Structure 1
Amino acid sequence: MKKLLAVALLCFSALTGQSTQAQSLPAPTIAAKSWLLLDTTSNQVIASENPEMRIEPASLTKIMTAYLVFEALRDKKLAMDQMVNVSMAAWKVDSDSSKMFIDPKVPVSINDLLYGLIVQSGNDAAVALAEAVAGSSDAFAVLMNREVERMGLKGTHFANPHGLPSPQNYSTANDLSRIAQHLITEFPEYYKTFYSTKSFTYNKISQPNRNRLLWLDPTVDGMKTGHTEAAGFCLISSAKRPNGSGERRLISVVLGATSDQVRAQESLKLLNWGFLNFDTIKLYDKNQAIGTPEVWKGTQAQIKIGFTKDLYVTLPKGSAARIKPQLDRKDPLVAPIAANTQIGTMKMMIDGKSVAEFPVMALETVNQASIFGRAWDSIRLWMK
């Protein structure tokens, strides 16, 4: 039951494999089995408890379902106004579960199915969308797990598109936060359209969004609730608030709360704590040269080094002014060196302690020199 009471940097994508801790700052007590708070701007987990605990994701599964539908829309495999027939499998899905109440006699649009999936948490909508994308729920689950693998998520497996109980349907707070981050980052317009909608009416039945935070906090603009007897009450929430001259987004994941009210209350507590106690600062621009070290045996004498993405870090308030960068470089740098090759590590130091580490990359390619140039530099290196 390890609680991370510090900023733990979980770098992936261009920052794969680096992990450090910042100054300790006590996290709030959260009434849930597992929870996590992620800053999407810096890509840092601010705090968590039991983030790798395997849990039943319940209707949080539908975030991955929506993600795959959004991919299909982006790739022109589906269209929002496309009408699909409702299968008996979709209509008959667990009668005691959440539904949008689609009818086998009435075709329904992809647009309405997405509202039914996201706002009404309809399991029937999940099956209908899965069939539209892949032909069947089983085939869709294969696509879900391919996406899990592509995202590098080690603690997740999906058995169906809706999250109804199955031994093969499981995830973790950390993995769910990453799926949510991918959806928000890659499909911002779809996220804005569907996840902030407070109610939806279909088949003359109006149902409210189960995410209470949409009414309690105007900065919360999504995301998804989930509940089964085994999972308890779960909520992934996302909020965006001002940060200096820009904006900052946090994603909270609260799993295994005891009631709908508690999951909303604890999620809001976690979001408020993160926004009030931490700042996210930009350290370097994408492709900004932070140095031009010497290169040996190359067609040029120096190479530009830096980061392939804008570099942000999340720190406890008041500590940003004390941060000092420390570059640890692999010397000597010998050509050939390809662009985007890691050539060192930048450590962010506060009071002599490393609070974050980032890979420093070659921003350009340096080819190998002629045989005469290589020979001359070999002599120079020997004499150095």
Structure 2
Amino acid sequence: MQINKFIIIFLQIVFCHSLYAGAVIVPAPPVIKASSYLIMDFNSGQILAAENIDNQLPPASLTKIMTAYVAGHELDENHITLDDKVTVSEKAWRMTGSRMFIEVNKQVTVRELLEGIIIQSGNDASVALAEHISGDESVFAGLMNQHARRLGMTNSHFVDATGLPDGQHYSSAHDMALLGAALIRDYPDIYEIHSRKEFTFNGIKQLNRNRLLWLDNTVDGIKTGHTEKAGYCLVASAQRDDMRLIAVVMGAESEKARASAVQALLNYGFRFYETRKLHSAGEILTTARIWKGTIDNIGLGLKDDLYVTIPRGQFDKLEKKFELPERIIAPVKVDIETGHMKLILAGREVMTIPLYARETVPEGGFFKRMKDKIKLIIE
């Protein structure tokens, strides 16, 4: 495929009719007293408010979101099952901090360990599960880092399954939001455990430390964390109607402060923004001339569903702008990137989305190629 320059094709389309066509004023986000924070839409991935989101910070027990994610992957690959019996090692039993209170040399199921990790934030359960999956916690940390790289968590490094303090163990608010979204998307059955308010094991009932589960019935997860160095941390997700948001606060001053901060971020996002699905994966959005191929026009579209988050009441003002190659020369394979589509609101670019060939176009016969070659010379 040869690309000499871009033709700019501009098209404004109306997505909906609104009774109120005036501009919606979006105020500044709430003041958050924390080391780092963000509010992100789950479907579009757009960040609505943020501060210091790529700073590398100690994540404390937010680490266990990744521990649960790795377990979800291992379950999905049938490497382990929920009914597996795990023999508790002395190392797991001796773990300090928050615990599930498993007993050395006793057997516990993977299902129970996941509940202990997610609901009770058990360090003992985290180590026991890590050892069951990988034989050793340090090997398990290697799996955690592999998944982190795959998910685009560029400011994270894990050395254990618990989040206990270590100078080489860190993450960021942005990475935690990406991880939370991945858990919700990839392993919904594991994510569901995060919505449970209590878990009883060995005769001991412990409550989920995410107090938003009691304060906001739209919140259905995910995880708290705290150490003296990390401060009070919380990743939470809520869904209202068809919109899901993920909020992250790291380094708040107290348990109450982290809950209040996340609640304020969620309320801000839901009140002033909305998310809509604009196009489906595989949908052809435009066509372009293709030269020297078996056909004259090629359809261009998306690989994935396209969701967009913008201020409420503004979808009727959203504009599309296609940037396409001037010359597309066959052969072209399906899913080859072939131009872009920009979404623009009030003169500002909201996002740029790559366009892909939705079909394979082989090279045409000799006479077709010669004919198009002459046309290209003339044009």
TM-score, normalised via structure 1 length = 0.90
1:249 maps to what in 2?
244
Distance, in Å, in 2 between the alignment partners of 1:25 and 1:154 is 31
List per-residue Cα deviations over 1:103-145 (Å, max 9, x = no partner).
Answer: 0142111111001000000000000000010001011011111
1:31 maps to what in 2?
33
> Are 2:286 and 1:300 aligned?
no
1:101 maps to what in 2?
101
Cα deviation for residue 204 of structure 1 reads: 0.9
Distance, in Å, in 2 between the alignment partners of 1:72 and 1:84 is 15
Q: What one-letter code is carried by the residue in structure 1 that aligns with 2:154? A: K
2:229 maps to what in 1?
230
Distance, in Å, in 2 between the alignment partners of 1:202 and 1:171 is 30
Contact 2:89 2:105 survives alignment (8 Å) = no
Question: Which of these residues, 264, 268, 288, is aligned with residue 283 of structure 2?
Answer: 288
2:10 maps to what in 1?
none
The percent of aligned pairs where both chains have the same amino acid is: 43
Cα deviation for residue 73 of structure 1 reads: 1.0
Contact 2:157 2:169 survives alignment (8 Å) = yes
Structure 1 runs of 4+ aligned residues shifted over 4 Å read: none
1:143 maps to what in 2?
143
Matches within 5 A, 1:3-152: 25-94=27-96, 97-152=97-152
Contact 2:26 2:272 survives alignment (8 Å) = no
Matches within 5 A, 1:146-165: 146-165=146-165
Cα deviation for residue 254 of structure 1 reads: 0.4
SS at 2:147's partner residue?
A: helix
SS at 1:149's partner residue?
A: helix
Cα deviation for residue 353 of structure 1 reads: 2.7
Q: What one-letter code is carried by the residue in structure 2 that aligns with 1:90? A: A
List per-residue Cα deviations over 1:42-90 (Å, max 9, x = no partner).
Answer: 1211121000111001000000000011111111111111111000110
- Alignment gaps of 5+ in structure 2: 1-24
TM-score, normalised via structure 2 length = 0.92
SS at 1:304's partner residue?
A: strand
Contact 1:25 1:316 survives alignment (8 Å) = no
> Are 2:274 and 1:275 aligned?
no
> Are 2:181 and 1:181 aligned?
yes
Matches within 5 A, 1:336-375: 336-375=331-370
Cα deviation for residue 352 of structure 1 reads: 2.8
Cα distance change on mapping 1:377 and 1:250 into 2, 3 Å: same
SS at 1:54's partner residue?
A: coil
SS at 1:382's partner residue?
A: helix
What is the aligned-residue RMSD (CA, Å)? 1.2
- Alignment gaps of 5+ in structure 1: 1-22
Cα deviation for residue 25 of structure 1 reads: 4.8
Cα deviation for residue 343 of structure 1 reads: 1.1
